Each structure stands twice: as C-alpha cells, then as structure tokens.
Amino acid sequence: GNDRVERSNARQLAVRWSTEPVPGLNTALMLRKRDGARVGAGVSASYGVDEVTLRADAYYGPAEARRFPLGLLDGAPRLYLPPLAFGYDPGHDYRLRSVIGATWTPRRALALYGEWVHHGDGLSGRQWDRYTDQLALHGAALEGPRRGAAIGNLGTDLSLLGSAPAGVRRDYVYLRAELGQGDATWYLSTFAGVADGSTVTTLSKSWQLRDHLTLKADLSAFTGSAGSEFGLTPYRYQAHLVLLQTF
C-alpha cells in the first residue's frame, strides 16, 4: 500500500512485446504488475534518422512515488500533531507518466539529449501554492509555543523537497551534453521545472581507470527564485565522488 516496493526492488512481473513495423521505427507495448498493486500498461516508440533519434514513452499505472501527506495539500495551513498521515494508496490510484525526447550526435564522441518529462502524480500549481503556504506557517511557528511541532513539520517538509532532483511537480525539461575523450567523459546536464523555471545543473566527469574500475565525480547547483521548487531545496550545492567496481 505504499512506495516501499519500488524503493526495495520487491517482486514484480512485466511482459513486453516489441516490433519494427518499418526500418528504423521500433515500437513496444508493456504490461506490468508489481507486488501489492494493480496492472499498469506502457507504450514506447523510437525512430532514428541519420544523426537524430526521436522517442516517446508513456506509462499509465498505479501511482508509485512523489506522495505528499494529504494534510499538506488540503485545507488551510496548520501544524500537525501527531505526524501527518500520507496520501493516496498507490496500489489503486492511477497516474500517467511520459517522456518525449530526442538525441543528436553531430559528430563522434559528442551527443546532445533533450527530454520533456511528465509525472502525473506530481503537484499541480494550486497544490504547490498551498504547500508553500504550509512552509511559511511552519517556519513562522518556530518562534511560538509549538516550536517542537514546527520542527517536526519542517523536517517532513525538507524530506519531501529533498527528493529533488527527482522533482515533485508535474512537468520538467531535461537537457544533457555528453563529450567523450578517450577514457574520460564529460557530462553537463540541466533539469528544469517548467512551472517555475528553477533548475538543477550538474557537471560530471568519469574516468575509466581499468577494465572494470571507473571513477565518477559530479557537482550540482540548485537555482531558482524565492518560492520555486529548486530554490526551496534544503541545499544549494552537492558534490559526489564514486569509485565503481564491476564484475
């Protein structure tokens, strides 16, 4: 009855049919059922022409992620004691998720990607405005007699916003440039919310040290105006260094 199945890679069954009706055009249909939820269906298509590949994917199935506590989105702003009950049952509430994208490889070792990403279970504009009102109230309550409750509520708020760059709104644009140079590859990407223009911009580089050993480093910056999604995240910059050993 919640998203633990997705986060724990629990049992699921999927069946996929694919075909190439004309040269260069690949299409597929998928049916999928995860443990504790109903069946979802997806379609995909991709078409390559010279240096460009176009693709579209859509999946309609039980809601699985980006769940907000119902109280944060219903009614007037207020403090909550005890902790909030979370919202819809993802096993029974259906959502549409889709991606439309293109890849352009103008020359060897250079690839450019662009995508429009839609999450049907993200927040609408009205829900987002209501949520930012909740944030303002929780912050103001730190100076009042219910400071403990305010701290708890703000902890929930930060954990929800901390799910970025997965995003909590409905529509995003994703852009990426990839440049390979021998055993090292550079990546520059931007993940932008369509609703408010806030962005997560990431610069990454990977080094192939050995046949099965890779070093990866990245630096991300979260930008946006006051009240925008990525402008409200509890951090401005993130850095990661990963050593990956494959077998």
Exposed, middle or buried by CB within 10 Å (0-12, 13-18, 19+), for 141? Answer: buried
pLDDT of residue 148: 84
pLDDT of residue 2: 46
Given a contact cutoff of 8 angstroms between Cβ atoms, the answer to whether 168 and 161 are in contact is yes
pLDDT tens for each residue of the chain, 247 residues long: 345 545 556 688 999 999 999 988 999 999 998 877 789 999 999 999 889 999 999 999 887 655 566 667 777 788 876 655 555 454 557 889 999 999 999 888 899 999 999 988 788 888 888 888 888 888 888 888 888 888 888 887 777 776 656 788 899 999 999 998 666 789 999 999 999 999 999 999 988 888 899 999 999 999 999 889 998 887 889 999 999 999 8
Distance between CA atoms of 27 and 24, rounded to whole angstroms? 10
Distance between CA atoms of 175 and 115, rounded to whole angstroms? 6
pLDDT of residue 1: 36
Whole-model pTM above 0.75? Answer: yes
pLDDT of residue 56: 97
Q: How many residues does the chain have?
A: 247
Strand 39-49 with 213-223, pairing: unpaired
pLDDT of residue 25: 94
pLDDT of residue 244: 94
pLDDT of residue 118: 94
Element (H, E) at 58: strand 52-62
- For 141, which DSSP code? G
Distance between CA atoms of 232 and 242, rounded to whole angstroms? 27
